[in-house]
Amino acid sequence: MSRHSYLISIFAILSLSIGCANLSTMSTGRALKPGEGRFHFAFMVSPGKDSLNSVLPNFETQLTNTAVNTASDAASNAAGNATSNATGNATADQTIKEKAAEKAKAEASQKLSKELDKVADKIPATGGLELIYQKGLFENFDMELRLRLIGPISLGGKYQFLEWKNIATAAGLQVGYWPGLEQKIPGGDEKVKIPGILDVGIPIIASYHPANWFGIYVAPKYVMRKISHENNYTLHILAPTVGFQLGDGFGLFAEITAQKAIGGDMKDYKALQGNISLFF
């Protein structure tokens, strides 16, 4: 199976299962009243390359490094074998080998980058369904339970610490977990391991409510993500969200969340997600 077919098969699996790790908010700065409940039927969509990057840790860097190092070693050895007998000069031999290695690195990196872009173009987006239940427990405090269909489960809560005129602000804590799984690739006997993920997030939510049935909110989040793959990875992610709520007893939420690594093992990580939910 070619690399293209392999990656496309992975995308097909992810589209039907977990999509990518979801850092949606689906809440304003106002806490639900004690005893009040809200159920969401939510859908998430993310660009294809972002989805693959978030579920298969650092896939582009890993593939690029492997291809580049292999090409570099081969070119270096070939240059060394071709020149050692001809020159007999160790310094000259080393210079020739280094130049050959650098040229091979550049060529391999450029070639693989084009291949990965072709894969991402063929799989423009992935998505996932999520069920969310939110419940007001105490004054200014509510909690939520989230379940992705064949995917992560998470528990969270927020405390509303400010309401001034039409503005409300809250701080929260979210913990999500997915143990991972192994899935057979369609059309072959190979299996791919979808890694386990542990997310611990701290959102700050601020919202403006010109009416009870309408609100606009922003929600910057810090997320620490632990990924269990062939190796273990830790990411520190900044994930700001902007969205709106339309409706009171029932209606919809719509939002966009950007993700960018600010530290950890995958500093090039970034992703973009769009989320929409119907609530009642």
Inform me whether the pLDDT recorded for 12 exceeds 50. Answer: no
Confidence of residue 16 (pLDDT cuts 50, 70, 90): very low
Residues 216-238: pLDDT tens digits?
A: 999 999 999 988 866 788 989 99
- What integer pLDDT is reported at residue 46 of this predicted model? 78
Query: What spatial distance separates the first Cα and last Cα of the chain, rounded to whole Å?
Result: 46
Distance, CA of 246 to CA of 235 (rounded, Å):
33
Percent of the chain with pLDDT over 70: 59
Distance, CA of 240 to CA of 258 (rounded, Å):
6
Give me the chain's average pLDDT, please.
Answer: 77
Q: What is the mean pLDDT of residues 175-202?
A: 76
Residues 103-126: pLDDT tens digits?
A: 766 676 566 556 555 555 555 556
Highest mean pLDDT among 22-31, 126-135, 136-145: 136-145
CA 217 to chain centre: 22
Q: What is the mean pLDDT of residues 87-106?
A: 65
Confidence of residue 62 (pLDDT cuts 50, 70, 90): very low
Residues 234-253: pLDDT tens digits?
A: 989 999 999 999 999 899 99
- What integer pLDDT is reported at residue 145 of this predicted model? 96
- The pairs formed by 150-153 with CB atoms below 8 angstroms and a separation of 24 or more are 150/16, 150/17, 150/18, 151/17, 151/18, 151/19, 151/178, 152/18, 152/21, 152/22, 152/176, 152/177, 152/178, 152/197, 152/199, 153/177, 153/178
**pTM of this structure:** 0.70
Residue 102, amino acid: E
